[in-house]
Structure 1
Amino acid sequence: MNDTAFTFKTLNPDTILDALFEHGIRVDSGLTPLNSFENRVYQFQDEDRQRFVVKFYRPQRWSAEQIAEEHQFALELQADEIPMAAPLRFNGDTVLTHQGYYFAVFPSLGGRQYEADNIDQMEWVGRYLGRIHQTGRRERFQHRPEMGVKEYLLEPRQVFEHSNLMPAALKERFLKTTDELIDAVMAQWHGRFNLLRLHGDCHPGNILWRDGPLFVDLDDARTGPAVQDLWMLLNGDKAEQRMQLETIIEAYEEFCPFNTEELALIEPLRAMRLVYYLAWLIRRWDDPAFPKNFPWLTGEDYWLRQTATFAEQIKTLREPPLQLVPMY
């Protein structure tokens, strides 16, 4: 796939309409872009006034086999009566192609925003995460990656070193702080957890509320520790996070046991996400959507703040990890 396709320059409305028409869908409305930088996602209405969402995957990221595993996991969850947005089949296939692009069509499922500070909603989400992981434990991904330090720390470190986006005068200090952060994570990254298929990116923005939670976007699904799908739901100070964690885990364990030793991975996982996200921005800079939406990435203030954020995370990693209050 050429670089033009990687940046979606060849994906125009006519291409999208042709791709859908090839699979028997006649669009009877405009294509409304939805919030997604990694892929290109559009909502539309067909001639029968049914609403759908079409997702075009960024070329060079996932293989057809990896996308198929994402879809299969979504369909398994749906079959287990878990509220998960799953792709539609066309002649038995969910992974569709057009002009070298992989794409998929989903029913359009509306809902309210999940309230991240609502304990009742958090309890519901914890219960469904237990069910998601109950399904996720049944088998392993064969093609999608395993969450680990190579993808989330070591490879991004190389991206930083070879990037020309950060001011040269700040690069040495930033790389030194990055190395210290990596060392701090490596000191705590242990193997005392069971690997399972995860949502992978279960933050509040990927949960809608429709008389209960509706989970969307398995684009980052991969194999890893269960706590990866829990920690991004936490917010506030440590006391608030502890209360939230107790709520989530109590509900979670109605369906699936939780290994409390994984709580020590919360801050390492947070650090890995910080590093990976920054490398993701740099890797996508050739896509015109990124300089347009992240213009501050080349500014000195941004890199000074990132260095300070990494340094603060190092301090957090050296503190005792978040723990549940013992029950007597």
Structure 2
Amino acid sequence: MNTPTQHPYDQLTPDRVLDAVESVGFISDARIMALNSYENRVYQVGIEESDPLIAKFYRPERWSKEQILEEHQFSLDLKAMELPVVAPSTDEHGNTLHEFEGFLFALFPRQGGHAPELDNLDNLLILGRTLGRMHKLGSSQAFQQRPEINLQRYGIDNVEFLLENDFIP
């Protein structure tokens, strides 16, 4: 159990990461490397006699299972439309989200990439088309779990919270 000063990620040790990956049927070769991530914890985990996997551990109490699964489904739908996304891996039962000792996590194939050359007009055209296709799929059905990005939620509510709680000296 976490104390008030402990962050839940304090419990996410390298051994726990490896145990979580192995809990869904993979055998790790014990190689682990932390990757950059703003909010979640993401690791490259070596797998015996196979390519490494990317394990993403979702920040506890940030997103619900339903929100994460909705996002996973959107990624899978984008992939089915042959858009260049790295969707979460599915297990033999079609599951993309796993739980281990209080942590929700997903596994992804390792996929390299590179930044586009933004001064190349052909690249900008391709980016625009890709974004258009993503938005078309996203607007084809209403998201039920994803919080809406709007002025009230991301502007007014936050200003009121700061003013009411004396966050700003």
| Alignment match of 2:96 (pick from 94, 97, 112) | 94
Q: Secondary structure at the match of 2:31?
A: coil
Measured after TM superposition, the shift of residue 159 of structure 1 is: 4.4
Distance 2:121 2:27 in 1: 43
| Alignment match of 1:133 (pick from 125, 132, 135) | 135
Instruction: Report if the CA contact (8 A) 1:74-1:85 is conserved.
Output: yes
Bigger CA drift: 95-104 or 148-157? 148-157
The residue number in structure 1 matching 2:57 is 56
Distance 2:18 2:82 in 1: 32
CA deviations 1:177-216 (Å, max 9, x no partner) are xxxxxxxxxxxxxxxxxxxxxxxxxxxxxxxxxxxxxxxx
Q: CA RMSD in A?
A: 2.0
Distance 1:158 1:99 in 2: 36
Measured after TM superposition, the shift of residue 157 of structure 1 is: 1.3
Instruction: Provide the identity percentage.
Output: 42
Measured after TM superposition, the shift of residue 49 of structure 1 is: 3.0
Measured after TM superposition, the shift of residue 89 of structure 1 is: 1.0
Measured after TM superposition, the shift of residue 11 of structure 1 is: 0.8
Distance 2:75 2:45 in 1: 21
- Unaligned 5+ residue runs, structure 1? 169-328
Kindly provide the amino acid, as one letter, of the partner of residue 31 in structure 1.
I
Kindly provide the amino acid, as one letter, of the partner of residue 59 in structure 1.
P
1 or 2, which has the higher strand percentage?
A: 2
Distance 1:151 1:115 in 2: 34
1 or 2, which has the higher helix percentage?
A: 1
> TM-score if structure 2 supplies the norm length?
0.88
The residue number in structure 2 matching 1:306 is none
Query: Is the counterpart of residue 40 in structure 1 residue 20 in structure 2?
Result: no
The residue number in structure 2 matching 1:21 is 22
Distance 2:12 2:5 in 1: 9
Distance 1:24 1:57 in 2: 20
Higher relative contact order (CA 8 A, sep 6+): 1
Distance 1:109 1:65 in 2: 26
Distance 2:10 2:58 in 1: 13
TM alignment of 1:204-283, pairs within 5 A: none
CA deviations 1:75-106 (Å, max 9, x no partner) are 00111111111001123211111111111000
Q: Secondary structure at the match of 2:45?
A: strand
The residue number in structure 1 matching 2:148 is 146
Kindly provide the amino acid, as one letter, of the partner of residue 139 in structure 2.
R
- Unaligned 5+ residue runs, structure 2? none
Distance 1:154 1:51 in 2: 44
Instruction: Report if the CA contact (8 A) 2:44-2:55 is conserved.
Output: yes
> TM-score if structure 1 supplies the norm length?
0.47
